[in-house]
Amino acid sequence: MQRFCVTINRGFGSWGKTIGGMLAERLGVEYYDRDLSRLSSEYSGIDERLFVQYDETVRQKLFHKFSPADLNAILSPDDKKFVSDDNLFKLQAKVIRNLAEKENCVIIGRCAGYVLSGLPYLLRVFIHAPFDVCVENVQNRYGLGPEEARRLVRQTDTNRRAYFKYYTGGRNWAEATNYDLTINTAHIKNEKAVDMIMEYLQNMQMNQ
């Protein structure tokens, strides 16, 4: 298979993370999710716990639109804003770009599809399901009651939506036009979702 990078944004409880891992295994490539915090820490020298604490959350209110130039404008360690949320995002974005430029891989969340905009071999995927389906999946997976599962799904997706909106200059996290492929997992098995992504990727490469 030719060069590729697949990025996956996902609603909590839609099995997006699981599908991403299955896809990476099927393709025989690396899968990057929470270990992006560790890699960003190793790249920057900043405590990994700061990246974990900040992961896919946002505390600012204003919108930013990060251009490639902005993403490369990483602050120096002696700058008082070196560990600010924006600089942590830039550092993580740099790690994401380095990964996508050197190897075929699957990357979960972290606005990776936006960070990698312009790469000719990029496939941006959004995995979602109706709220009640996600709640049921979370209940079954984590052994939670219905109210706690609803709260967790709602809060997690709210955080991801705000994070995406902030770092993409106001874009809607769940809008189909931000992606090449969107998949509703309400009525299909995870294996079928992987098949769909594989087929899209193969068709995309045939037409490059």
The chain-wide mean pLDDT, for the chain, equals: 93
Residue 69 scores a pLDDT above 70: no
So what's the pLDDT on residue 68? 63
Q: Whole-angstrom Cα distance, residue 64 to residue 93?
A: 14
Number of domains making up the chain = 1
3-state secondary structure of 181: strand
Res. 73 pLDDT band, cuts 50 70 90: confident
Looking at residue 43, which CATH number applies to its domain?
Answer: 3.40.50.300
- Residue 60 in tokens: 């600012």
pLDDT in tens, 177-205: 999 999 999 999 999 999 999 999 999 99
Residue 65 scores a pLDDT above 70: no
Distance of CA 142 to the CA centre of its chain: 21
Angle between helices 131-142 and 146-167 (to 10 degrees): 120
Query: What domain range includes position 86?
Result: 5-206
Q: Whole-angstrom Cα distance, residue 112 to residue 164?
A: 10
pLDDT in tens, 111-122: 999 999 999 999
One-letter identity of residue 54:
Y
pTM over 0.85, yes/no: yes
So what's the pLDDT on residue 147? 97
How large is the average pLDDT for residues 73-90?
A: 90
Would you tell me how many other CB atoms lie within 10 Å of the CB of residue 195? Answer: 14
pLDDT in tens, 129-170: 999 999 999 999 999 999 999 999 999 999 999 999 998 888
One-letter identity of residue 79:
D
How large is the average pLDDT for residues 20-43?
A: 97
